[in-house]
Amino acid sequence: MNSLRPWNLFGKTMYAAHAQGAGSNLVLQLSKARAKQQAQETDLSSPFLRNFFYLLAPSSVFWAWLLFTRWRYGDADRLRALEDKPGGVILLDLLAWRITAHLGPYQVPNFCHAKMHEESLKMLQESVMLDQERMRALSRLGQLSQRHLAAQSLAPLGAEAGPGAPLEAIRPLLFDAFYQASESARAPGSSTESHKAQATKIILDVVSACAPEERQVPPWVLSGLVRARGAPWQSGAQGEEVRATVLVQLLRTPANAQTAASLPEVCEYLARPGLKRKEDTAWPLKAYLMSGETHDILRRGARLVAKQRPGAVEPQLKRDRDTPNLQIKRDVRNAWSTILLTAGWAAMQHFSGVYTIQATLQMAAGVAGALGGTVVLETLWRLEELAIESEWYWKDPFGTVPASAVMVLANCGALAWAVRHSCIVPFLICRLFKDDYFDAHRTFE
C-alpha cells in the first residue's frame, strides 16, 4: 500500500502518494515549486499591502487627471464651453459629483468661478420648457447648492456674490414654489412633483448656507410657504415639520419677522397648537424616526415674531417633544439604515448554510467585524467632508492639492484594511445611492 506524505504548498497541505518509479519525480517537482514560492515571498505579499497598491494605482491616475482638469478648467470660458461639447454634460456631472471631491483636487470652486449656475437660472426663468431641460437646470444648481460655500457664492444674473445674493439668485425657484397657485391644474411646461422636490432641496440648502441676517425674502415667500400644498410639504408625516423648520429659519432674520407680523396667514399658522403625526408603517423604529412634530417649532417662530412686534402672535404653551428634532431623526435614520444594510450583507456573506452554535457565533463575529469596518470608513468619510466644507480648503488652491493626496492615501489604506471585512459593498451602496435618497448631507438647524 502506498504511503502518503504531507506537503505544505501555497498555504495548503497536500498529500503525495509514493509510487514506484514516479515518486522521485513528484517529490522533485513539489520541492522546486515550494522553493520558488519561498523565493518570491517579500514584504509586499501581505494582503494589506497588496490590496493597498492595487487601489493606489488607479486612484493615483484618477487624482492626476483631476489635478489636470482643475488646472485646465480654471479658465471660466473653457469650462462654460464644455457643456455644449459631446459628452460635456457627463464630464461636468462627474467633476461636480460629491464623491469626486474625495478622490482628487476640488473641482467645485471652478464651477463657481465660471458662474455655471447662471445658465440654469436663465433656463428656469423661461415660462415654458421641456421636463428634461428643467431637470437639467435643477440638477446643475443642486450640484452647487449641496456645498455650503458654493451655495453662498450664488448670485443673480450679472451680479456679484454678497449678502442676500444666494436667495435672490434662486428667486425663480421661490416664485415657482411659493407664489404660483399650487392647487391649480398643471400647465404645459410647469413643474412636476419631482421638479418641486428637487427645487425644495435647493431652497433648503441655500437657506441653511446663508447666515441668519442674510435670509431676507419678499413677503410672498413667507405667505406662500405656509399656504403651499402638495409635495414635499404634504408628503409623509415629516412634511409639516420641514415646512415649520424652514419658516423658523427665515424668521431668524429680524426683517422677515417684522414682515411676518403684518401677514395674517403667517400669524395664524404660528398660533396653531401644532401637530404630532407618525408615519403609517408597521415598523416601530421607522415610524418613530419618520414622525413629525411641529408644536415646539411653531412656538419658537411665534416668539421670534413677538420679539420684533409684541402682541402680533401669542405663542402656545410649551410642551415636551415625543421625538427628537428633525436633524437628529434624519441622522439616526441614516445611521440605522447603514447598520441594517451592513449587517444584512455581512450575515449573507458569512452564513454557512448550517444552524449550529459554532456557525452562529462565526456569523455574529463576521457581522461585528463588518460593523466595525463600516464605523472606520464612515468616520473617515465624515472627517473628509468636514475638511472639504472648510473655508481654507475652498480658498487655498495650493492647500487643496496636498490635502486631496492625503485623502487618496487614507482612502486606499482604509479600503485595503476593510477588505477583510464584509463592509466594502454596503459602504459603496451608501455613497452611490443611499446618501442622495436620504439627503445625508443636508442640515436643517
pLDDT score at 43: 45
Residue 119: all three cell numbers together = 445658465
Is the confidence at residue 438, as pLDDT, over 90?
Answer: no
Lowest mean pLDDT among 45-49, 115-119, 146-150, 427-431: 45-49
What amino acid is encoded at 133 in this protein? E
- What is residue 184's predicted lDDT score, i.e. its pLDDT? 44
Report how far residue 334's alpha carbon sits from residue 338's, in angstroms, rounded to the nearest whole number.
6
Dihedral pair phi/psi, residue 253, rounded to 5°: -85, 120
Question: Does position 7 have pLDDT exceeding 90, yes or no?
Answer: no
Cα distances from 101 to residues 67, 69, 94, 300, in angstroms, run 11, 13, 10, 37
* Strands, E assignment, 276-396: 276-277, 292-293
- Dist CA 237 CA 230 (whole Å): 13
pLDDT (0 to 100) of residue 64: 97
Domains and CATH numbers, the chain: 4-41 (no CATH), 49-82+325-445 (no CATH), 83-324 (1.25.10)
Determine the average pLDDT of the residues in 9-18: 52
Give me the mean pLDDT over the 232-244 stretch.
87
- Global confidence as pTM: 0.82
pLDDT score of 100: 95
pLDDT of 181-204, one tens digit each? 444 444 444 567 788 888 889 999
Secondary structure of residue 12 in the 3-state scheme = strand
Within 10 angstroms of residue 124's Cβ, the number of other Cβ atoms is 22
Measure Cα distances from 65 to 59, 68, 235 in Å.
10, 5, 42
393 exposed, middle or buried (CB, 10 Å; 0-12, 13-18, 19+)? buried
DSSP state of 242: H
The reply to whether omega before 232 is within 30° of 0 (cis) is yes
Of 4-13, 254-263, 436-445, the one with minimum mean pLDDT is 4-13
Checking if the pLDDT of 415 tops 50, the result is: yes
The half-sphere exposure of 403 on its side-chain side, counting CA atoms within 13 A, is 21
Q: Give 12's pLDDT tier (boundaries 50, 70, 90).
A: low
| Dihedral of alpha carbons 377, 363, 368, 365, sign | negative
Indicate whether 298 pLDDT > 60: yes
The per-residue pLDDT for range 57-115, each reduced to its tens digit, is: 999 999 999 999 999 999 999 999 998 888 889 999 999 999 999 999 999 999 999 99
Quote the pLDDT of residue 26.
65
Q: Apex CA 196: angle with CA 341 and CA 275, to 5°?
A: 75
Compute the mean pLDDT over every residue in the chain, rounded to the nearest whole number.
86
pLDDT score recorded for residue 5? 53
Lowest mean pLDDT among 36-50, 169-183, 289-303: 36-50
Q: What percent of the chain has pLDDT over 90?
A: 56
| Of the candidates 256, 397, 251, 241, the residue with the CA atom closest to the CA atom of residue 326 | 241
How many CB atoms are closer than 10 A to CB 113? 14
Q: How many residues does the chain have?
A: 445
> What is the model's pLDDT at position 1?
46
pLDDT (tens digit per residue) in 246-291: 999 999 999 999 999 999 999 999 999 988 888 888 888 888 888 9
Residue where the block lists cell 438647524: 445
Lowest-pLDDT range of 231-235, 240-244, 263-267: 231-235
Count the alpha carbons within 13 Å of 188 in the hemisphere toward its beta carbon: 1
Q: Is 283 exposed, middle or buried (0-12, 13-18, 19+ CB in 10 A)?
A: exposed
404: Cα separation from own chain's centroid: 19
Q: The cell 445611492 sits on which residue? A: 433
* pLDDT tens digits, 113-145: 999 998 888 888 887 778 788 888 899 999 999
Q: Which residues pair with 5 in a beta bridge?
A: 16
